[in-house]
Amino acid sequence: MAIQETDNVVSGLVDAVCGDGPGHERNRYMLREALFGLVRLAQAEQLAALRQDSERAAGAAATLRQRRMARALLRRIGTDVNSGQRRFEF
Protein backbone atom coordinates (compact mmCIF):
# COMPACT_ATOMS: atom_id res chain seq x y z
CA MET A 1 0.00 0.00 0.00
CA ALA A 2 1.29 3.42 -0.85
CA ILE A 3 1.67 5.96 1.93
CA GLN A 4 -1.13 8.16 0.59
CA GLU A 5 -3.48 5.19 0.46
CA THR A 6 -2.53 4.21 4.00
CA ASP A 7 -3.18 7.75 5.22
CA ASN A 8 -6.56 7.81 3.49
CA VAL A 9 -7.60 4.44 4.88
CA VAL A 10 -6.49 5.29 8.40
CA SER A 11 -8.21 8.69 8.36
CA GLY A 12 -11.37 7.06 6.98
CA LEU A 13 -11.36 4.48 9.78
CA VAL A 14 -10.74 7.15 12.41
CA ASP A 15 -13.62 9.25 11.04
CA ALA A 16 -15.93 6.23 10.97
CA VAL A 17 -15.12 5.19 14.53
CA CYS A 18 -14.73 8.52 16.32
CA GLY A 19 -16.88 10.80 14.20
CA ASP A 20 -16.27 14.50 13.66
CA GLY A 21 -17.60 15.76 16.99
CA PRO A 22 -15.59 18.05 19.24
CA GLY A 23 -13.86 16.65 22.30
CA HIS A 24 -12.67 13.49 20.57
CA GLU A 25 -9.24 14.75 19.52
CA ARG A 26 -7.36 12.58 22.01
CA ASN A 27 -9.31 9.47 21.02
CA ARG A 28 -8.78 10.25 17.35
CA TYR A 29 -5.04 10.71 17.91
CA MET A 30 -4.70 7.46 19.91
CA LEU A 31 -6.67 5.46 17.35
CA ARG A 32 -4.72 6.95 14.42
CA GLU A 33 -1.36 6.15 16.05
CA ALA A 34 -2.49 2.63 16.95
CA LEU A 35 -3.53 1.98 13.36
CA PHE A 36 -0.25 3.33 12.02
CA GLY A 37 1.54 1.07 14.51
CA LEU A 38 -0.35 -1.91 13.10
CA VAL A 39 0.63 -0.88 9.58
CA ARG A 40 4.31 -0.71 10.60
CA LEU A 41 4.05 -4.11 12.29
CA ALA A 42 2.48 -5.65 9.19
CA GLN A 43 5.23 -4.17 7.00
CA ALA A 44 7.93 -5.55 9.31
CA GLU A 45 6.31 -9.01 9.30
CA GLN A 46 6.07 -8.94 5.52
CA LEU A 47 9.73 -7.97 5.20
CA ALA A 48 10.76 -10.74 7.62
CA ALA A 49 8.76 -13.29 5.62
CA LEU A 50 10.39 -12.13 2.37
CA ARG A 51 13.86 -12.43 3.92
CA GLN A 52 13.07 -15.89 5.26
CA ASP A 53 11.80 -17.05 1.87
CA SER A 54 14.87 -15.70 0.07
CA GLU A 55 17.21 -17.31 2.61
CA ARG A 56 15.36 -20.59 2.26
CA ALA A 57 15.62 -20.44 -1.54
CA ALA A 58 19.32 -19.59 -1.46
CA GLY A 59 20.05 -22.00 1.37
CA ALA A 60 19.22 -25.18 -0.53
CA ALA A 61 22.53 -25.12 -2.42
CA ALA A 62 24.46 -23.88 0.60
CA THR A 63 23.10 -26.69 2.77
CA LEU A 64 24.42 -29.35 0.43
CA ARG A 65 27.85 -27.71 0.36
CA GLN A 66 27.87 -27.43 4.17
CA ARG A 67 27.01 -31.12 4.54
CA ARG A 68 29.89 -32.08 2.28
CA MET A 69 32.27 -29.87 4.22
CA ALA A 70 31.05 -31.28 7.54
CA ARG A 71 31.55 -34.86 6.33
CA ALA A 72 35.07 -34.04 5.16
CA LEU A 73 35.85 -32.40 8.49
CA LEU A 74 34.55 -35.39 10.43
CA ARG A 75 36.65 -37.71 8.30
CA ARG A 76 39.74 -35.61 9.00
CA ILE A 77 38.99 -35.59 12.71
CA GLY A 78 38.57 -39.35 12.65
CA THR A 79 41.92 -39.88 10.98
CA ASP A 80 43.63 -37.47 13.38
CA VAL A 81 42.26 -39.31 16.41
CA ASN A 82 43.31 -42.69 15.08
CA SER A 83 46.82 -41.62 14.16
CA GLY A 84 47.59 -39.20 16.98
CA GLN A 85 47.76 -41.10 20.25
CA ARG A 86 48.85 -44.71 20.53
CA ARG A 87 48.65 -47.16 23.34
CA PHE A 88 51.56 -47.44 25.68
CA GLU A 89 53.46 -50.67 25.59
CA PHE A 90 54.33 -52.11 29.00
pLDDT tens-digit profile of 6-49? 889 998 999 888 887 777 888 889 999 999 999 999 999 999 99
CB-based contacts of 35: which residues, under 8 Å, 6+ apart?
10, 13, 14
Q: What pTM, to 2 d.p., does this model score?
A: 0.57
pLDDT one-digit tens code per residue, 39-89: 999 999 999 999 888 877 776 666 777 778 888 888 877 765 555 556 656
